[in-house]
Each structure stands twice: as C-alpha cells, then as structure tokens.
Structure 1
Amino acid sequence: MAFGFTVDENNVLGRQVEEAGTYNVRILPTSEAKVSKTGKEMMVLNFEITDGKYAGGQIRYDNVVWDESDEEKKENSAKRFNTIAVAVGAKAGFSFTSIQQMTEALKGRELNISVEWDGPNDKGYYNLNVTGHNPKDPEGSKPNGMFKPARQQSGASAYNNPAVDKAAASLPDNFGAPSGDPFASAGQVISDDNLPF
C-alpha cells in the first residue's frame, strides 16, 4: 500500500487550544505519578476538553507537587490535592494512601480547569498553565479571548541549523500543491516561528 491522502480539515486529531479560559475536561490515561527534579512526589495531569469550540483539544503537564518540606507547604499541598479530589466528586472521608493510587483514580474523571498563558519558556514559547481546579461547569467551557502571545525568538533562524535551513530553502514554492501553496487559503496563518518543531 502506498502513502497518499487528501487534506481534510474535518478529519484531524484534537484541536489546538488557542485561548485561555475555563474548560470542562476529562483527565487522560497519559496522566502519571512521578518524582519532580527536586525529589518531591507529584502528579502530572493531562486533560482533554470535552465541550465547546476546542472539544478534543488537550491541555498537558499540570504538575501537582506534594511538598512536605515544612508544615505550611504540607498544608498547602493537602489543600491542592483535596481541591482536585472534590472537583471530580470524591466522597468526604475517603483516604488516598499514595500519589500513584490517586493518579489512577483520577483517570477518566471530569472537572473544570482554569488556564492562563505562562511563559515564555527558555525557547520563547508560551504554554497554557492550569491555575484552578473546579467541579464541571454545567454551562460548558468558556474561552476568554486571551490568545497565545507571539513567540519570542532569539536568533535569525527558527531552527538555528544551517543544514535544515538550506534544505528548506531548496524546496519549490509550490511543494506538494497542485496550484501553489497548500496553506494559502487557511483561515488562520501560523508562522513557522510558532511551530514547536
């Protein structure tokens, strides 16, 4: 069988989440319990939006750290973990005995999260950062119109790799399109500087 397909904007995996706001989400099976770089236990929660214009889009890497380095941090950690448990409907009085147990119990559960743009990171990219966990909103997801800031690029090339730049420059202008640029009529033009690869 040979490779071949026709571009169909209705046949894609998930949607890119382009706005901050509050979203009804499902906790994905890719969520996991880990140990942070500082040696603290944590949950890394990944979410999929369940409704609205970004349904199917993912918000990833909500790192929820358990910190017992002093009493105040331990108390705040308990509040953070309780907030998530209550948001997904855990019953009062239930005891979790490990972060692994809690992470497994959360998979597939639904809640509402608040997200804001955070960054830029060391590569100039902005990412959505989870700032709140709440019970699922019966009114649905609510993007707030705050779009991702433009990438802050440091350097002349998006790749900073002369071999890649030379290879890209050697492609014909109408590469892959029967009549010019296959992306020319796209509703939203995304600069190569905003791509993560």
Structure 2
Amino acid sequence: MARQLDYHAIHEIFSRFRASDPEPKGELEHVNAYTLLVAVALSAQATDAGVNKATRGLFPVADTPQKMLDLGEAGLTDHIKTIGLFRQKAKNVIRLSRILVEDHGGEVPSSRAALQALPGVGRKTANVVLNMWWRFPAQAVDTHIFRLGNRSGIAPGKDVVAVERAIEDNVPAEFQLHAHHWMILHGRYTCKARKPQCGACLIRDICQYEEKSL
C-alpha cells in the first residue's frame, strides 16, 4: 500500500485527468435510471461489454420495472444467460422491480439506504446510480479503483470502504463528481492489474507505485 499523497499532488493528478477527459462517462449502456440500476446490478463479476451485449436486446422490451415484471423471470433469464451468475441476478432483478412498483411508484429512489434495501444492490451499485443518474458525488469503488487508489497513493485503504472514505476525504471537492469515473477508466485501461501501462501513464511522475514498468 502506497503512502497517502498530499493535497497538492492529488489536485495535480485530477487536474490532468480532467484536462484529458473533461466529462468522463460510464460504459454501461442505459436509457433511464431504472435501466442503469439493472445494468449495474448485472455487472457484478461481469464485464461492462458483456452486460451491454445482453441488455441491447433486453432494454428495448423492458425499460421500466413493470415491463420487467411483465417479461418475467424466464424471459429475463433468456436475455442475460451469457452473463455470470445470471440465474441469481434474474431473481434479484425481478424482486427489485416488484419492490420499485409496489413501494416506490415504479421510480428509482435517490436515497442510498433505499437503493441498498433492494435485492442484489450493494453499496457500490447504489453509489454508481447516485453518481451517474442523480449526480451526487458518490464514490463507487470497484477492483480498478481499489487497485489504483492503493498503488498511486490517491486513496490507500485496506478495503473498499476505506478507499471510498479516502477518496471523499482527500480528493478536492471540484473533482468529486467525476472522481470515480476518472479512476475506473484509468485503472481499466492504464493502471491494469497484471501489466500496468506505466510508460503511457499521465500521472507516472506523481504515482507512488514502486514497481513501475517502462
């Protein structure tokens, strides 16, 4: 675990991220808050590309909780069977859709507690929805962000909650809204797990990672 970088170093890192990509976007395809919620729930232990491939046929026929219930678990399963853990995910999506219809008027709530009360929705999923749809400065820490936070010194922590807190505490407010997108994209495409592309890294001179590659 790298040492925590100071304010000036972190400000410089995110200034570079912003200059390179002023409006970073999540890669999960969606058309509304509900389809975003479903896409993120389906993405656990699966790639965004794999989820997008499945939902391109699903969302045109089930883009609301009621339409998903009308499709049914068997119909949903048929659409997402290429995704890992698809049977359990299908059960969760049907259950959460029923709760949204019965308890939330068919709308996706903007409360972390209400989101996390839904089947198959953990803190990370809730934070993605809060950030991407409701534009709250919520930090959804996945494996890419956890790795980058610890390698670089941006947000070191022993677990995802500690890294989330470190981002909230140490990243300047002006960067909070897009922080998790910049970090996930950098972790996914540059600061890779096995072969980090340090030679092409725009924060190489600031990063605390001791095993930098050429």
Which of the five TM-score ranges fits, normalised by the shorter chain?
under 0.3
TM-score, normalised via structure 1 length:
0.25
Q: TM-score if structure 2 supplies the norm length?
A: 0.24
Normalized per residue, the structure richer in strand is 1
Structure with larger Rg? 1
